[in-house]
Amino acid sequence: ERLKQGLTKAKQGITDKIDNVLNMYTKVDEELLEDLEEILITADVGVNTTMNIIDQLRNRIKQKGITDPMDVRVELKNIVENILDNDNAKLDVEKSPSIILMVGVNGVGKTTTIGKLANRYKSEGKKVLLAAGDTFRAAAIEQLEVWAQRSNVDIIKHQEGADPGAVVYDAIKAAKARNVDLLICDTAGRLHNKANLMNELGKVFKIVDREFPEAKREVLLVVDATTGQNAVSQAKTFKEVADITGIVLTKLDGTAKGGVVLAVKSEVDVPVKLIGVGEKVEDLQDFDAKAFSDALFG
């Protein structure tokens, strides 16, 4: 299926390499663990998370008296699954009205993700409205319009350079007047510095607090899996300036370093709720720890 297909590169970059190493060894020793450690670090799992995994693995090997390298694979998969597992990690927009605020820097796939979400919920029969809150780039507004047309949903937009807060304000008014089930707001992705980001996002959040308190809110941070540890540091920065309720990890199909999912999971403490495994509408998936590790290790 799509998930397996989307994770082909990641599988090559992680599991195939792991299998190669395991096949080379006849016994389980520190050298083997060192080889595995190197693979994980190369796959962007991150140093801390890699150390954690290897420590757990070492303990299990000792406790269970594992001597066959192939049995190490089972333990490794299980440890990975445990790290990825997270309760209530599903996107929750079932209540009407709901609002999704999308945040993230330019180029990570924010617009594409909004388009995919609009399409998903529209085809589920919800009334969806988009707000072009990234007013700093004319291209962002135009691109969102294309997605709106494609999914046949309405969009609220202002001119380039307009106040993002005003766009969101108008969109909330429209959402109420039109009995919209789900309002999805784009925001500007400029990350000059933390104070600036806090200021820009703060204005938008304040308007949502004031004008739309009845709406169930999701704040989704979009990060690009191909940027590796950058994705992790972006997540940490945004988490400091906004109440992020979930992370969207895009472009997982484009990287052999799928380990970034593990790094985000264990170092950021915000659930990964969605993953992007391609450019098409159907390539946005709910993150499922079991399905993910099955696709990766299967």
Taking the complex as a whole, the smallest distance from the CB of residue 45 to ligand GDP amounts, in Å, to: 20
> Contact with ligand GDP (CB under 6 A): which of 217, 253, 274, 285?
253
189 known ligand binder: yes
Number of residues that bind ligand GDP (CB under 6 A): 19
Q: What is the C-alpha to C-alpha distance for residues 188 and 221, in angstroms, rounded to an integer?
A: 12
Classify 184 as helix, strand or coil: strand
Per-residue contact track with ligand GDP, 266 to 285, x per CB under 6 A? ----------xxxx---x--
**Termini Cα distance of the chain:** 12
- Identify which range of 58-66, 67-75, 104-112, 200-208 contacts ligand GDP by CB under 6 A: 104-112
Q: For residue 4, how far is the Cα from the chain centroid?
A: 17
* Selection from 297, 217, 216 nearest residue 4 by Cα: 297
Cβ closest to ligand GDP, residue 36 vs residue 263: 263
Helix (H) or strand (E) holding 156: strand 154-156
Q: What is the C-alpha to C-alpha distance for residues 278 and 226, in angstroms, rounded to an integer?
A: 12
Answer yes or no whether residue 110 interacts with ligand GDP by CB under 6 A.
yes
Positions in 170-199 near ligand GDP (CB under 6 A):
189
8-state DSSP, 239: H
8 Å CB contact between 60 and 66: yes
> Contact with ligand GDP (CB under 6 A): which of 49, 111, 135, 266?
111
Cβ closest to ligand GDP, residue 57 vs residue 185: 185
Q: Omega before 69 cis (within 30°)?
A: no
Residue facing ligand GDP at closest CB distance: 276
Residues within the annotated binding site for GTP? 104-111, 186-190, 250-253
* Chain contacts with ligand GDP (rule: CB under 6 A): 104, 106-112, 143, 189, 250-251, 253-254, 276-279, 283
